Amino acid sequence: MTIAVCPGSFDPVTLGHLDVIRRAATLFDRVIVVVMINFSKQPAFTVEERVGFIKKITASLPNVEVDAFSGLLADYAAKEDATAIVKGLRVMSDFEYEFQMALTNSSLNPRTETIFLPASIDYMFLSSSMVREVASRGRDVSKFVPAEIAEDIRKKLWK
């Protein structure tokens, strides 16, 4: 069985993330979307909220599961016996950081490959931080995140 891990902060999950998750679900037998917990960062959404949003928007994808983890991604991938870590790659500015993480993960866990999926053209410039910025001004974010979670995101962030 091929197993993919799709990691991220998902603060919050966007249409770009969902696009990568959907595409991974066509390539692998089982896809685990994992919210990585970083204690040195103060996220806008709790782990439970982030996991809940992803569960809601992936409910129709039978081979997708959602989890949360606070250790190293390489260790999580080894624990789950993952074939691959799948990440979306947007503009070139993502590349250096993603490449560095892929090499670190591969030296910690050589059994799991990192695979980059190029972002779809519609989501090339979409980011969670942009969604937070727009929602915090009270604007609708349903062009950027799945419609079923857009209002929850706007309500939570609108000051």
Q: Is the peptide bond before 43 cis (omega within 30 degrees of 0)?
A: no
Q: Is 104 in the site for ligand PNS (CB under 6 A)?
A: yes
Active-site entry in 22, 23, 90, 156: 90
Q: Of 5, 6, 7, 150, which lies in the binding site for ligand PNS, with binding defined by CB under 6 A? A: 7
Q: Is 9 in the site for ligand PNS (CB under 6 A)?
A: yes
Minimum CB separation of residue 149 from ligand PNS in Å reads: 17
CB within 8 Å of 71: residues ≥ 6 apart: none
64-69 and 84-89 strand pairing: unpaired
Active-site entry in 9, 50, 87, 128: 128
Minimum CB separation of residue 128 from ligand PNS in Å reads: 7
Site for ligand PNS in 29-58 (CB under 6 A): 36
Residue tagged 């994992």 (tokens): 34
Residues in binding contact with ligand PNS, number by CB under 6 A = 10
> Under a CB-based contact definition with an 8 Å cutoff, are residues 156 and 44 in contact?
yes
Closest by CA to 92, choosing from 113, 114, 115, 118, is: 118
Residue 17 appears among annotated catalytic residues: yes
Identify any residues that bridge with 86 across adjacent strands, giving them in sequence order.
115
Residue 60 appears among annotated catalytic residues: no
Residue 128 appears among annotated catalytic residues: yes
Q: Is 72 in the site for ligand PNS (CB under 6 A)?
A: yes
From the CA atom positions of the chain, what is the Rg in Å? 15
Distance CA 54, CA 46 (A): 13
Q: Is 15 in the site for ligand PNS (CB under 6 A)?
A: no
Contact positions vs ligand PNS (CB under 6 A): 7-9, 36, 72-74, 101, 104-105
